[in-house]
A and B are shown apart, each in its own frame.
Chain A
Amino acid sequence: MKKAGAKKPLPFFCMKPMKLNTTLFELGVLDRLAEQNTPLHRLDPRAKLITTLGFIFTVVSFNRYEISALLPLTIYPVFLIGAGDLPGRYLFKKILIASPFALFVGVFNPFFDRAPMVMLHGVAISAGWISFASVVLRFVLTVSAALALIGITGFNAICMALSRIGVPRAFIIQLLFLYRYLFVLTDEGLRMVRARSLRSFKGRGTGLKIYANMLGQLLLRTMDRAQRIHRSMLCRGFDGEIRLNREFSFTIHDLVFCLFWLSFFGLARSFNLSLLLGQLASRMTA
């Protein structure tokens, strides 16, 4: 038998129930945040959705070497987090979890794009590094804005807003059901993982093969459940359309919020505000 060396982190398929449990707990955090009652929370979901979409489009529309012009846009997510009373540290952690995607997208830029672009204190910085930094910055901006949107609106309200601005119903139903049954599914998976860990000793019984069996089992259970849910929907007259008894009111506050931020995004897109501010500052000190 091999001697156990330094403890290696467990692969994801050996995950302990505890860890899964915390993940599940975290899922509900954003929803609980959305139950707060700040002026930002009271805005119409459509206003927040449209503004945030505007923000995301603005951020991704800059050219790939842009950094300075992006900086003023950080005000928007910071404003949402501040005015919405959201825990910045928690959101930051969430962004970190998603960050590998962005890092993979940008990580090869410095190797392929080696032309020097900027001289900083005598050190040449290549265009690749600049574009890499730009990718990361955009990622942080868009993801933080999207997370903050969920935190001040709630997932379900966003779905309602999406359906009101014309996103196809089928898509909305998918999203709503995905979110509703995510909790049931994680619960079910958690129970299976717990049952396995109680009967696996010394690492035996935690292999990939067992994991595959469990996944298959979970899929079958899910299909059974889907059938039962469909039945219960039919029993209550489901005919392919989900109706909701809900009124939204788009008030003057919502309009002001939308117009203010959208025009700010427009401004930041057309002029490099950081540069203007810098020039202004240097002219004043000169």
Chain B
Amino acid sequence: MSHHIIEFKDVRYAYPDGTEALGGISFLIHHGESVALVGGNGAGKSTLLMHLNGCLTPESGQVRIGDFPLTPKTLDEVRRTVGMVFQDPDDQLFMPTVYDDVAFGPLNLGLPHEEVDARVASALATVDCQKLAQRPPYKLSGGEKRSVAIATVLAMSPSILALDEPSSNLDPRARRMLINLLATFTHTKIIASHDLDLVLDLCERTIVLYQGRIRADGPTREIFLDTALLEECHLERPPSLSLR
């Protein structure tokens, strides 16, 4: 299946004020792969994620998702394929109740009402939040918000999941539950995170960004054992790995 492939070809992007955020990024992610995007603050992780479904468009270079290049014409198809979970769940949960929020995407896809109902139920069941359906999002805890944010994306049945700092602001238990949840997904995953322990648990491959460029791309374990590389890119070897 060539369906779930993410390909970046020499993607460059600079913010309107002239700061270069991405300086020629190229990589290829295959179907079912789980890839981590790590790097210090301002390395370009979030900017790169924004390119995955056309929130930002590259100045030069090309992004291909599945079978098509990302162009204004294919935008709808790409957005259905790539489910994006934002860093701050408050940005993602904007509807009056959890149910409405999870139903938002499927309704916009034009699905019939019974199908929307079924999708909402199954997405909420996947993240174990059925009980929250009628609650307003602002009353949820941080962990619940994150789970519901993931459900809003699952309800559109994407084949690729892109997550920006999924474990930020979570307590250890909520974080562990999130890791277990993500581990059950068979989607192609691309996870931007500072949480290298989470990366170690979830991703077999890691791309290291440094100042808008790819500094390293390879098996997670190998990269995390390269102390010099990690230090240069403002990272640190995860404690769980140092003990072994």
Contact = CB atoms under 8 A, between A and B. Distances in A.
Q: Looking at chain B's contact residues, is the secondary structure mostly helix, strand, loop, or mixed? A: helix
A244 B117 CA distance: 11
B95 A235 contact: no
Contact of B84 (A177, A232, A243): A232
Contacts of B153: 236
Contacts, number: 80
Interface in A246-263: 246
Nearest to B53: A235
A31 B96 CA distance: 12
Contact of B107 (A181, A184, A233, A245): A245
A136 interface: no
A236 B104 contact: yes
Q: Looking at chain A's contact residues, is the secondary structure mostly helix, strand, loop, or mixed? A: helix
B167 interface: no
Interface residues of B, number: 37
B108 A237 contact: yes
B153 to A, nearest CB: 8
B103 A237 contact: no
B88 A228 contact: yes
A235 B55 contact: yes
Contacts of A239: 108
A236 B156 contact: yes
Interface residues of A, number: 28
Contacts of B100: 244-246
B91 A228 contact: yes
A206 interface: no
A215 interface: no
Contacts of B79: 234-237
B138 interface: yes
Q: Which 4 A-B pairs have the closest CB atoms?
A: A237-B108, A236-B105, A156-B96, A243-B107
29 contacts: A156-B96, A159-B96, A176-B96, A180-B96, A180-B138, A184-B90, A184-B138, A225-B91, A228-B86, A229-B91, A229-B94, A231-B55, A232-B84, A232-B94, A233-B94, A235-B53, A235-B55, A235-B84, A236-B79, A236-B153, A237-B105, A237-B109, A238-B108, A244-B107, A245-B99, A245-B103, A245-B107, A245-B116, A245-B117
Interface of A: 28, 31, 156, 159, 176-177, 179-181, 183-184, 225, 228-229, 231-239, 242-246
